[in-house]
Structure 1
Amino acid sequence: MVEAVARRKVPATFNGALEAGVRAVALLAAAHPYSFDLQRLIAFDYLLVHTADVGGPASLHPPAPLHPAELLVRRKLVEQALLLMMTRDLVQREVSTEGIRYRAGENATPFLQALQSGYLGALKDRAAWLVGEFGAQSDTDFRALMRRFFDRWVEEFQVAESSLGVES
């Protein structure tokens, strides 16, 4: 019995491919008809649930110790999410001279309109805010913005490590 319980997978609430896919669809629908590359979508996925970190509306997810570490592990999750959403024409991948970019698929708007909960309403509002604030920034400007936040997050890690007695 104990082995069966130990083998059972624990759901990754808010951080499975489906949840990240809904976030990606919300972001891309808010940006329609524009598209983003994977790096921008990874950063946006983090910022969408932590909008207060960049001076936006209250964050959707509560603050947690070292939550900026989430940014470092999102690449695979966002890639899986995009692939999942592409199977239902919620996201389209386009290849151009600029590289691989993603945009809202034909079914994105009806899909989002069908989702009716307080959380999803807030998610869509924050996606619109995030795209309005940072969607038109050049990749260079956006990277500079993220670097400033990353530098601040590194300082948070160092303070946390120090308070835990971890030696550098």
Structure 2
Amino acid sequence: MEIIEQKNINIFNSPLEVGFRVLIILDAFYPRSLDLTYLTWFDHLVINSADFGGESSLHPKIPFRVGEILVKRNLIKDGLELMMKYRLIHIVNSNNGILYQATDESNFVIDLISSEYGINLKDRSNWLLNTFGEKSFSELKSVIEDKLGKWNVEFQNSYKDGV
């Protein structure tokens, strides 16, 4: 009998988890497309919604969570790549650079998500759209700086005026 090696697979903050979060955010904003900086900020806002005037946060308050945003960018890239492999997200080339958009088919997958966390994530993504969706890049940057500090924003190396 063949012995199967057990691998330690972490689903928390994995490309799968982050990819689904970003997919749900992009679906809430559909047909609008967002760049990596917006997605990084919006992912942080959605899981820490109570810090930004929303309902209870999806993730617990942990010390030094302001530093999360510094490592999120690469996790979000990995999550985007995974979702693009399954044709749930696609790239939009624009004058503003590379943007990401949910595909027409993504809502069928999102409709299948029925866990409590998934439903809450959909709700927080709609809150995100209604609360921050029309803010300019400068306004959103100011909100992030107020809560996370200017140094956190400065490490997000993609400054521009909106998407």
Q: Return the TM-score normalized by structure 1.
A: 0.82
Name segments (4+ residues, structure 1) moved above 3 Å: 8-13
Q: Which residue of 2 aligns with 1:96?
A: 94
Q: TM-score, normalised by structure 2?
A: 0.84
Shift of 1:89: 1.5
| 1:36 and 1:101 in contact (8 A); partners too | yes
Distance 2:99 2:49 in 1: 23
| Cα RMSD for the two superposed structures | 2.0
Q: Which amino acid aligns with 2:71?
A: V
Structure 1 residues 97, 74: closer, same or farther in 2, change over 3 A? Answer: same
**Highest CA radius of gyration, 1 or 2?**
1
Q: How does 1:99-110 map to 2 (within 5 A)?
A: 99-110=97-108
Correspondence for 1:71 = 69
The one-letter amino acid paired with 2:17 is E
CA distance in 2, matches of 1:89, 1:145: 32
Using a 3 Å threshold, how does the CA distance of structure 1 residues 137 and 48 change in structure 2: closer, same or farther? same
- The 1:152/1:58 distance shift into structure 2, 3 A limit, reads farther
1:150 matched to 2:141? The reply is no
CA distance in 2, matches of 1:16, 1:127: 19
Instruction: Report the residue type matching 2:142 in the other structure.
Output: A
- After TM superposition, the structure 1 = structure 2 runs for residues 24-103 of structure 1, keeping only pairs within 5 Å, are 24-103=22-101
How far off is 1:14 after superposition?
Answer: 2.6
Gapped runs of 5+ residues in structure 1? 1-7, 155-168
Deviation digits for residues 73-115 of structure 1, max 9, x if unmatched? 0011000101110111211111111111111112210000111
